[in-house]
Structure 1
Amino acid sequence: MNLESNDNKTFKTFLQLLAYSGHDSLLPRIEEAFQNAADFQKVCIGTSDTRQIYLCYLMSLAGSDHLKFQLQPTLEDELQTNLSSYSGNKYSAGDFETCEKAICSGKTILCTMDSCNGIILETGNPQQRGLQQPQTENVIQGPMYSFNENYQTNIALVRQRMQTSRLKIWEVSIGEITKTKIGVLYLDGITDPGLIQYTCDKISQIHTDGIQESGELLQLLNEKTGLFPAAVTTERPDRVSASLLNGKIVIVMDGTPFSIMAPGSFFDFWESAEDQYLTPFIAVFLRTLRFMALMLNLFLPGFYVAITSVNIDINRLEISLAAAAGREGVPYPVWIESMLMLILLDCIVEAGVRLPRSISSTVTMVGGVVLGQAIIQANIVSNLLVIVAATTALTNFIVVDYQMGLVQRILKYFILIGAGVLGVLGIVFCFAILVICIARVESFGVSYLTPIGPGARVRSRSLGLLGKSHHFSLTNWITFGKGMRK
C-alpha cells in the first residue's frame, strides 16, 4: 500500500480515520508516556484544515524507508517539512493503549494535536541477523539454514516448507511489560484437537512481567516435569516440519531462534533430524548406539565403584587384583575418588562451554592432559578410573539434545551414590526410582514414555525405528491412564 500525501483527496480520506471528542487528546498522553525516552520523536509533517499533523515514533525501532519527506517553502520564504509518501503493508486507527503498544513495537502514529485516536503506520524495522547454519545442531544432511530471532522470519521459513492451508497459527502476546509474541503452529486434521486446546489454554493462563526465551516459556507451561526437559527445542526448520507432520505442535516465540516441539517424549531426545534421511538399518544402528552411550554414561562410574569397593566377590580374581594394584597408594575410598574425578571433568567441560571460542579449546586441552597426568602421578586417582571417567565424558556428548545431556551429568552422581552405599543392589534401586519418576512425568498432558505408556499420542516415530507411524488415540489413552490410577 502506497499513500501519496500530495494527492489531496486521498490524504483527506486517510485523515477521516481520526476522531475528535473534545477530551482525552491522544498526543499529550503519548508525550507523557514517553517523556524520558531519548529516542522518542514527535515531528510536525504539515497541516490539514488548519490542524497540524504529527508523527510519533521511536527512532531506534522505526525504519527510515517507509516514510519520505520533502521540503516546501512557505509564504514567509521558510522551509517546511511535509510528508511526501508512505509505503507500507497496511494502516489502522487505534486508541491510546493500542498506539502506545504500536510505538513500542516500531510503528509510527499519525495524529493531530486534538484528535483522541491515531493512525498506526507499519514502519517497523526489526533488528535481526541473517539466515545462518544452526549453531547448536550440526547439519550433516539437510537444509543449511536455521531460525533467527525474528518471529515473522521463522514463520516464513516454516511456511516455505509446509505450503498448505492446513498449517494453522494461533498467536498471543505474553508479558505485561515485554509483550512477547508467541505462535502455536499445527496441522489441521493431523494434530489432536485436545492437544491444541490444552496448549492454548496453558499459554493463555500465563501471567508474568516478561519472558525472554523459549526455555523459560517451557518451564511456565510444564512446572511439574522436575529435572527432565518437558519438550525438545530446535533451531532447524526441517525438524519443525517433520514434527508437524508427526502430529505435534510447534511453539514459535519472538526474540529467540529456538522453537518448542511438543509434547515431548523421552525417546525424542535421542532422535536426530538426520535419522529420517538415512536408510532404516543405519538409523536403527545409530539410535541403538545412542542408547548404549546413555547406559554407559549413567551406570559405568557406579558399576566401577560397586565392583571395586562393595561387591568385590562378583569379580574374577585377576580383575580384583588388577584393580587393587592400580589403586596402590591412593589414599581415598573408591567412591570419593570417583566423585572427585567426575566433578573435575564436568568443570573442564563447563569451562570449554563458557570460555570464548578462541581460548576454550586450549584451556580444555591443558586442563584435560596436564591436570589428568599430574593427578595420576600424585596417586590421587587410579589409572583405571581415568579410563572410566574419560569413557563417561565421551558418552555424554553423544546425546542429541543439550538439555538432556545436562540431565545425564546430574543423574550419574545419583547412581554413583547408590552404588557407593549398596553396590550393585544400589544401582538397581536407583534405576527403578528413575523409571518410576519418568513414568510419572507428563509433557503437555501426555505421558513422558509415549508411545508405550498411558496418554500416548497421535503418530510417534520415537519407537518406530524403521520410520513407521503408529496411531494412538489421545483421549482413549488418557482415560485408560486415569482408570489405572484409580
Structure 2
Amino acid sequence: MGGHRKRTIWHALQPVTGAKLLAGLRGSFDGMADFEAVRLGEAASGELYLCYLSTLVGSEHLLFSLDPSFDQADASLVERYVGTKFAEGDLAACVEALCRGGTVLCTTASASGILLETADWQQRNVGQPLTENVIQGPMYAFNESYRTNVALLRQRMRSPKLKLWETTIGRETSTRAGVFYMQGLADPGLVDRVIDRFARIDADGIQDTGQLLRLLGGKSLLFPLAVTTERPDRVAGALIDGKIAIVLDGTPLAIVAPGAFTDFWAAAEDRYLMPFIALFLRMLRFMALMTNLFLPGFYVAITSVNIDVNRLEISLAAAGSREGVPYPVLVETLLILFLLDCIVEAGVRLPRTIGATVTMVGGVVLGQAIIQANIVSNLLVIVAATTALTNFIVVDYQMGLVLRVLKYFVLLGAGVLGILGLVLCFAILVVFLSRLESFGVSYLSPAGPRARVYTRTWLSWFKSPVRSRERRG
C-alpha cells in the first residue's frame, strides 16, 4: 500500500467513543475455533488487530512488513493488499464480512474496521455438465460458486443489456441470489413480480434452487413451474427469448422462468439443429411422454374393461399370455410398475460402482423370475419396459418424476372406467394445466388465457432467428 492508503486506513481506525468493535467480534464468534484475532503491533490509537476465519481466507491476499516510520518501531503493518478496494464497516458489516471469508483490520479502541476481501472458497473447477448430457454445444457447466456462474453468463452474453439484480436470502445462511434479465426483451412486469416475491421470502436458510423455486413459484403441488439447468448456453438462449434466470450461491443449477409445459421436453441442442430435425425430435419426446403416461392404463382398459374393442386375435393373445397368472390385470400392472420404479430409484441413489449391478439384477434376474413364476404376463413385461424406456426420454428430471406419479392415477382411472377413464384423466390433466400459471404466465404457453409467446416457441421453429430479431426490434 502507498502512503496515501496508509493515512486513509489510519484515519478510519481512530478511537471512537461507544461500542468497541474488537470486543463485539470476539463476543459474536465466541466458541468458534477457527476465529483468529492476530495482533499486528501497537500504535497511537491502541493495539492493531487482524480478525478473520482461518478456514475461509487465503494467505496470498495480504503481505506484511515492519514499518518503523509509522509512529512506533514495533508496528507490523500490511504492506500490500491483493484484492478489491477495501471499505469501512461497523460491527454488523464486519460480522457479515467475516462469515463470507473477509478480513477485518481494527484496533482495540475503534468502533469500525477496515473490510478486506480475502475469501478463498473451496469449490470445484468448471467442468462438464453432470445432469445434462451435451451432444452439441459448449462443454462447460455452472458450479457452486456464485461469482463463477455470473462470469460464465457474462462471457456468453457480452451485452450491456444483460442486467443483474442481487439480494441475500435466509436469516441464518445469508445466501446470495441474482436475477438475470435482458433489458428490452424481458417483460418489466415479470421482473418486478420476481423481485417482489424475493422480498416476501422469510426462511432460515436456502440450500438449493428447488427450495427457492417453491418459495418463488405459484400454487403447484405437482408440476415444476420453472426449468432448472446447469448449462450456461441454455440459460443464455432463454434470456434472449425474454425469460429471466435466477442464480443461487452454493448450487450449480440455475432457474429459468417462467416455465411452459413445452420447455420440459425440449433439449438445449434443439437450437443448434435444422428446424425440421428439431421438430421431429420434440414430437418424438412428446409422443414418448404421452406413451409413458397412458400406455399402462390403455393396457389395463383393453384387457380387463373394454375387451370388446379389441380384435379377436389381440384378445386371444392377451388371454394366452396371462394364462396361469393369479392376479387381476390392475393388480398385476401395479405390481410390475412398482418394481420398475424401485429398480430405477435404486440405480439413481446407489453408488455408481454398484448401481449398474443392482439394475442388472433387478431388471434381468428378477424380471425373468417373476415371468417364470407366472406372477405377471409376458405382454405386460413389454408394456412395462416400454413405459420405463419412454420415461428416460423426457429431458427434464423433475418432469420425469411427475410422470412417474401421474401414471398411477391414470392406471386407476383406466382400471375402473376403462377407455372412458383414460379420456376423463386426459381431460382433467388438460384443465389442470390450463389453470396453472408460472410467474403470471400460462403453463400451456403459447396457448392459454394468460399466455405469452416468446421468440422461439414451437410456432416459430421454422422461422429464421434473423427475422425474429428484426420483428422484435
Same fold (TM over 0.5): yes
Q: 2:15·2:45 contact (CA, 8 Å) conserved in 1? A: no
Query: Cα–Cα, structure 1 residues 42 and 467, in superposed 2: closer, same or farther, change >3 Å?
Result: farther
Aligned partners of 2:43 and 2:75 also within 8 Å: no
Residue 208 of structure 1: which of 203, 210, 225 is its match?
203
3-state SS of 2:164 partner = strand
1:97-176, aligned counterparts within 5 Å? 97-176=92-171
Q: Could you tell me whether the CA contact under 8 Å between 2:14 and 2:45 is conserved in 1? A: no
Give the alignment partner of residue 448 of structure 1, picking from 443, 448, 455: 443
How far does residue 71 in structure 1 lie from its aligned partner after superposition? 6.4
Hey, what's the Cα distance between the residues in 1 that align with 2:426 and 2:368? 33
CA contact (8 A) 2:84 2:117 kept: yes
Q: Which residue does 1:482 correspond to in 2?
A: none
User: What's the CA shift for 1:358?
Assistant: 1.0
Count of matched residue pairs = 463
Is 1:299 aligned to 2:280, yes or no?
Answer: no
Partner of 2:267: 272
Change (3 A) 1:253 1:440: same
| Paired letter, 2:378 | N
Distance in 2 (alpha carbons) for counterparts of 1:465 and 1:167: 24
- Is there any run of 5+ residues in structure 1 with no aligned partner, and where? 472-486
Whole-angstrom distance in 2 between the partners of 1:352 and 1:42: 49
Q: Deviations over 1:222-269 (max 9, x none)?
A: 141220001000000100110000000000000000000000000010
Residue 17 of structure 2: SS of its match in structure 1? coil
Distance in 2 (alpha carbons) for counterparts of 1:17 and 1:79: 21
Distance in structure 2 (CA, Å) of the matches to 1:456 and 1:63:
50
Separation in structure 1 between the aligned mates of residue 317 and residue 12 of structure 2, nearest angstrom: 88
2:419 alignment counterpart? 424
Return the alpha-carbon distance in structure 1 between the equivalents of residues 347 and 90 of structure 2. Answer: 52
Matches of 1:10 and 1:18 in 2, distance apart?
13
Kindly indicate whether the alpha-carbon contact (under 8 Å) linking 1:109 and 1:121 is maintained by their aligned counterparts in 2.
Answer: yes
Match of 2:331 in 1: 336
One-letter code of the match for 2:316? L
The share of aligned pairs that are identical, in percent, is: 61
- The residue aligned with 2:284 is 289
Structure 2: distance between partners of 1:50 and 1:158 = 46
Distance in 1 between residues matched to 2:273 and 2:294, nearest whole Å: 30
- The one-letter code sitting in structure 2 at the alignment partner of 1:198 is R
The answer to whether the aligner puts 1:68 opposite 2:68 as a matched pair is no
User: How many Å separate the matches in 1 of 2:220 and 2:440?
Assistant: 11
Q: CA deviation at 1:10?
A: 3.6
Structure 1 counterpart of 2:144, which letter? E
Residues 251, 276 of structure 1: CA spacing in aligned structure 2 closer, same or farther, 3 A cutoff? same
Deviation at 1:12, TM superposition (A): 2.2
- Matched with 2:360 is 365
In the other structure, the counterpart of 1:11 is: 6
Following the alignment from structure 2 to structure 1, what is the Cα–Cα distance between the partners of residues 269 and 34? Answer: 46
TM-score by length of 2: 0.95
Displacement of 1:454 in angstroms is 1.8
Letter in 2 for 1:26: L
Aligned partners of 2:347 and 2:358 also within 8 Å: yes
Output the CA distance in 2 between the equivalents of 1:81 and 1:92.
21
Name the residue aligned to 2:246: 251
Indicate conservation of the 8 Å contact 1:151/1:253, yes or no: yes
Q: Are 1:43 and 2:38 matched, yes or no?
A: yes
8 A contact 1:251–1:261 mirrored in 2: yes
Q: Aligned partners of 2:144 and 2:235: how far apart in 1?
A: 16
Q: What is the identity, as a one-letter code, of the residue corresponding to 1:243?
A: A
Give secondary structure in 2 for the equivalent of 1:65. Answer: helix
The alignment's TM-score, normalised by the length of structure 1, stands at: 0.92
Q: Deviations over 1:169-224 (max 9, x none)?
A: 00000000000000000010110100000011011110111000001100011141
Aligned residue identity for 2:326 = P
Residue deviations 1:25-69, cap 9 Å, x none? 111010000010000000111233252111110001111110122
SS at match of 1:53: strand
Contact (CA 8 Å) 2:260, 2:442: kept in 1 or not? yes
Q: CA deviation at 1:451?
A: 1.2
Q: Work out whether residues 218 and 437 of structure 2, in 8 Å CA contact, stay in contact via their aligned partners in 1.
A: no
Q: Check if 1:85 corresponds to 2:80.
A: yes
Equivalent residue letter for 2:150: I
**Structure 1 SS opposite 2:60:** coil
Counterpart of 2:41 in 1: which secondary structure?
A: strand
What is the rounded CA distance, in whole Å, between the counterparts of 2:136 and 2:460 in structure 1? 19
2:320 aligned residue (318, 325, 343): 325
1:183–1:251 contact (8 Å) kept in structure 2 = yes
Asked if structure 2 preserves the Cα contact closer than 8 Å seen for 1:451 and 1:460, the reply is no
For 1:215 and 1:415, locate their aligned partners in 2 and report how far apart those are by CA, in whole Å. 27
Q: How far apart, CA to CA, are the structure 1 residues paired with 2:239 and 2:348?
A: 32
Runs of 4+ residues over 6 Å off in structure 1: none
The CA distance in 2 between the partners of 1:355 and 1:363, in whole Å, is: 9
Aligned twin of 2:405: 410
- 1:50-65 to 2 correspondence within 5 Å? 51-65=46-60
SS at match of 2:347: helix
- The answer (yes or no) to whether the contact 2:218–2:438 under 8 Å persists in 1 is no
Q: C-alpha displacement at 1:465, in angstroms?
A: 5.7
The SS at the match of 2:168 is: strand
**C-alpha separation in 1, matches of 2:462 and 2:214:** 30
In the alignment, residue 234 of structure 1 is paired with which amino acid?
A: T
Letter in 1 for 2:293: L
| Paired amino acid for 2:388 | A
Quick one: distance in 2 between partners of 1:199 and 1:52?
48
**Does structure 1 residue 30 correspond to structure 2 residue 55?**
no
